[in-house]
């Protein structure tokens, strides 16, 4: 399967591009404003509501205030606000001023914030408690597609965060990729997108806020996720688009009064960050009868979306992240002849320019015209992509590679398992053995022996976890929903071996 590639052109560098993009994110915002100036653009839950005219006018005043404060074109501007109208105004105001937006993770400790602000060389910092600057309306009319628009810092799951440099073309390409892959019309003012994830993450900003602006819809921004508020807002704000990690959907559909909330208006329900098992897919479909589901996969380095598993495949191929987005080319480096698994490579106009102030890391990850993602994957004969592990998370068990995602998928499908993470446990003889941290389903029953038997029916014996810790707290995750395995390893005290111990 391939998504709609009409109007796609391939340049001499081999990169596929859309030929119908706006010149910049600023031009995209202006287009939606001029088309429907009085249409609601932004709703802050518990706060302000802005029309497109108000969003544009107030963003231009922020831009004027930044210029008056000495911010020059191309200068980095750090945004430390929480989710809400000020964050959105700071973001668009920075772009209107010709600056480069640098969203800062609000969960960072003070030293981490200081690192990001210093690393990007921010000339101005929004917040977290400071008022927005206000000046004469200003719009930099010289901004083009290839100008730098934003620097999003990676989650730091494999070390110090790196700033991924995203151009206006990257952001616009991601919007078009998302619309085509999810089968969303290019103009859809009735779209009302519930933003329940942080705006400082590419999913919240690039995958929701900007895509909604592109279609002229409304972004309803939650200050933070709360399952009861999430459910209340769906009918109250006439929500039609959801994007969340599977655990959020699980919490929603398992509320005892979930049937009391009218969710028939949801037309699209996208998930990512972790696989969604067939049983949860069926539950979500039951409660969101009109929704098209989709499993999205992407990285900060691909601006957001890289692949999407369409609705028609979500139940039959739950372990897949789907097909490449319209202008994304994928390949595998050094695939294993036996398993077909290799490092996933990506190329496209959504792939970022590189890492800010990190020439060596840029040269390592962006080489030979491809992004080397660090993810291990296989691609089947139909073109479906299966991400099996991070290259650094492969468990080397006595010379036998065990892909943690494969084991996680098998365990996650077992009755009574809410979420699971699999890591290598140091072993004097084997080097590493397979360890699993399992969070049981809240309020349910959990049988460890039955879970391991379930896994043995689906996995080779050497892949079945030999160390298991049952955890009462949710797994530590970054804002994109990915498990923080370095944190988990540090927090976990492994007990004795369980089950059989194959050598």
| CA separation for the pair 304, 174 (Å, rounded) | 7
Tokens 């653009």 map to which residue?
41
DSSP 8-state secondary structure symbol assigned to residue 117: H
- Residue 324 and residue 177 in one domain: yes
What percentage of the chain exceeds 70 in pLDDT?
97
Domain annotation covers residue 3: no
Question: Cβ(106)–Cβ(80) under 8 Å?
Answer: yes
Domain end residue (candidates: 387, 413, 431) = 387
* Tokens encoding 293: 């589901």
Same-domain check for residues 401 and 311: no
Mark which of 364, 387, 410 sits at the end of a domain: 387
Residue 503 lies in a domain: no
SS (H, E, C) 348-366: CCCCCCCECCCHHHHHHHE
On whether both 110 and 136 belong to a single domain, the answer is yes
Residue 71, domain member (yes or no): yes
pLDDT at 499: 55
How buried is residue 406: exposed, middle or buried, by Cβ count under 10 Å (0-12/13-18/19+)? buried
**In this structure, which long-range contacts are made by residues 388-391, counting pairs with CB atoms below 8 Å and at least 24 apart in sequence?**
388/341, 390/158, 391/343
CA distance 183 to 1: 14
pLDDT in tens, 395-436: 888 767 788 888 998 899 899 999 999 999 987 667 789 999
Length of the chain, in residues: 503
Q: What is the rounded (10 degree) CA torsion for 82, 87, 90, 95?
A: 120
Contact 193, 217 (CB under 8 A): yes
In a domain, 230, yes or no: yes
Closest Cα to residue 376, out of 410, 407, 325, 336? Answer: 336
In a shared domain, residues 230 and 363: yes
Q: CA nearest 454: which of 465, 442, 467, 444?
A: 465
**261 and 401 inside one domain:** no
CA distance 415 to 419: 11
Tokens 């998928």, residue?
Answer: 409
Query: Do 235 and 212 fall within a single domain?
Result: yes
Same domain flag for 98 and 78: yes
Give the CATH number, domain containing residue 459: 3.30.300.30
439 in the same domain as 375: no
Question: Which tokens go with 261?
Answer: 């909330």
| Residues ≥6 apart with Cβ < 8 Å to 121 | 76, 357
Q: What is the pLDDT averaged over residues 182-205? A: 96
- Map residue 210 onto helix, strand or coil: helix
Q: Are residues 266 and 343 in the same domain?
A: yes
* Residue 260 domain-assigned (yes or no): yes
- Please tell me the distance from the alpha carbon of residue 123 to that of residue 368, in angstroms, as a whole number: 34
Span 444-466, average pLDDT: 90
| Region of residue 322 (phi > 0: left; psi between -120 and 50: alpha; otherwise: beta) | left
* Among 212, 216, 188, 215, residue whose Cα is nearest residue 199: 212
Is residue 496 situated within a structural domain? no
Which residues, other chains included, contact 396 with Cβ-Cβ below 8 Å and sequence gap of 6+?
Answer: 402, 424, 431, 432
pLDDT at 394 over 90: no
In this prediction, residue 501 carries a pLDDT of 36
Q: Which pLDDT score, from 0 to 100, does residue 462 have?
A: 84
Mean pLDDT value across residues 443-448: 90
Task: State mean pLDDT over 87-101.
Answer: 98
Q: Tell me the residue ranges of DSSP E strands in 168-318.
A: 192-195, 218-221, 241-244, 268-272, 292-298, 305-309
pLDDT at 51: 98
How is residue 479 written in tokens?
């804002």
Give the CATH number of the domain where residue 293 resides.
Answer: 3.40.50.12780
User: Is the confidence at residue 500, as pLDDT, over 60?
Assistant: no
User: Residue 42, SS3?
Assistant: strand
pLDDT at 397: 81
Are both 348 and 399 inside the same structural domain? no
The string of DSSP codes covering 389-420 is EEGGG-EEETTEEE-HHHHHHHHHTSTTEEEE
Note the pTM of the prediction, 2 decimals.
0.85
Shared domain for 307 and 426, answered yes or no, is: no
The answer to the question of residue 1 being in a domain is: no
Among candidate residues 387, 404, 424, the one where a domain is terminated: 387
Q: What pLDDT shows up at residue 486?
A: 83
The whole-angstrom separation of Cα 207 and Cα 478 is 17
Phi then psi dihedrals of residue 157, to 5 deg: -70, -20
Task: Say if CB 303 and CB 202 are below 8 A apart.
Answer: yes
Strand ranges inside 123-189, DSSP E: 124-126, 148-153, 163-167
The reported pLDDT for the residue numbered 158 is 46
The dihedral of CA 331, 350, 481, 419: what is its sign? negative
Is 141 found in the same domain as 191?
Answer: yes
Question: CA neighbours within 13 Å on the CB side: how many for 200?
Answer: 26
Whether residue 502 is predicted with pLDDT greater than 80 in this model: the reply is no
Alpha carbon distance 265, 346 (integer Å)? 35
Parallel/antiparallel/unpaired status of strands 431-440 and 467-470: parallel
Domain ranges, residue 79 = 8-387
Structure tokens at 20: 């119908």
- CA pair distance 398, 435, nearest whole angstrom: 14
pLDDT at 245 over 90: no
Number of folded domains that form the chain: 2
**Is 22 among the domain residues?**
yes
């Amino acid at each position: 399967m391939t998504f709609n590639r009409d109007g796609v052109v391939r340049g001499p560098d081999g990169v596929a591009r859309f030929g119908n993009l706006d010149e910049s994110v600023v031009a995209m915002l202006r287009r939606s404003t001029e088309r429907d100036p009085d249409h609601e653009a932004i709703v802050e839950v518990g706060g302000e509501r802005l029309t497109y005219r108000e969003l544009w006018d107030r963003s231009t005043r922020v831009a004027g205030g930044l210029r008056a404060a000495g911010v020059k074109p191309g200068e980095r501007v750090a945004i430390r606000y929480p989710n809400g109208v000020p964050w959105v105004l700071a973001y668009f105001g920075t772009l209107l001023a010709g600056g480069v937006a640098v969203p800062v993770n609000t969960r960072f400790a003070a030293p981490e914030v200081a690192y990001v602000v210093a690393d990007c060389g921010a000339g101005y910092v929004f917040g977290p408690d400071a008022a927005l600057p206000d000046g004469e309306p200003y719009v930099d009319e010289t901004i083009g597609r290839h100008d730098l628009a934003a620097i999003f810092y990676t989650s730091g799951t494999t070390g110090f965060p790196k700033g991924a440099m995203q151009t206006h073309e990257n952001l616009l390409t991601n919007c078009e990729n998302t619309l085509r892959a999810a089968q969303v019309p290019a103009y859809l003012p009735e779209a009302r997108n519930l933003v329940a994830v942080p705006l400082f993450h590419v999913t919240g900003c690039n995958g929701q806020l900007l895509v909604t602006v592109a279609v002229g819809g409304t972004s309803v921004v939650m200050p933070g996720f709360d399952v009861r508020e999430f459910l209340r807002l769906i009918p109250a704000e006439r929500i039609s688009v959801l994007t969340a990690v599977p655990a959020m959907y699980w919490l929603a559909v398992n509320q005892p009064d979930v049937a009391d909330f009218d969710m028939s208006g949801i037309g699209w329900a996208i998930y990512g960050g972790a696989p969604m098992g067939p049983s949860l897919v069926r539950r979500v479909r039951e409660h969101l009868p009109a929704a098209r589901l989709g499993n999205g996969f992407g990285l900060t380095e691909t601006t957001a979306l890289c692949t999407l598993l369409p609705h028609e495949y979500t139940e039959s191929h739950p372990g897949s992240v789907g097909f490449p987005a319209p202008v994304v080319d994928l390949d595998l480096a050094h695939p294993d002849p036996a398993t077909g698994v290799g490092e996933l490579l990506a190329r496209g106009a959504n792939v970022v320019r590189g890492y800010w102030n990190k020439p060596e890391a840029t040269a390592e990850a962006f080489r030979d015209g491809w992004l080397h993602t660090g993810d291990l994957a296989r691609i089947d004969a139909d073109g479906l992509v299966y991400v099996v592990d991070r290259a650094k998370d492969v468990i080397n068990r006595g010379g036998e590679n065990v892909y943690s995602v494969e084991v996680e998928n098998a365990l996650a499908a077992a009755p009574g398992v809410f979420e699971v993470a699999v890591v290598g446990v140091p072993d004097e003889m084997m080097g590493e053995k397979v360890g699993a941290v399992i969070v049981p389903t809240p309020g349910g029953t959990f049988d460890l022996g039955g879970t391991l038997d379930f896994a043995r029916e689906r996995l080779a014996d050497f892949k079945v976890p030999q160390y298991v810790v049952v955890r009462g707290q949710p797994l530590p995750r970054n804002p994109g929903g990915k498990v923080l395995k370095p944190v988990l390893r540090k927090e976990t005290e492994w007990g004795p071996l369980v089950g059989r111990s194959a050598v």
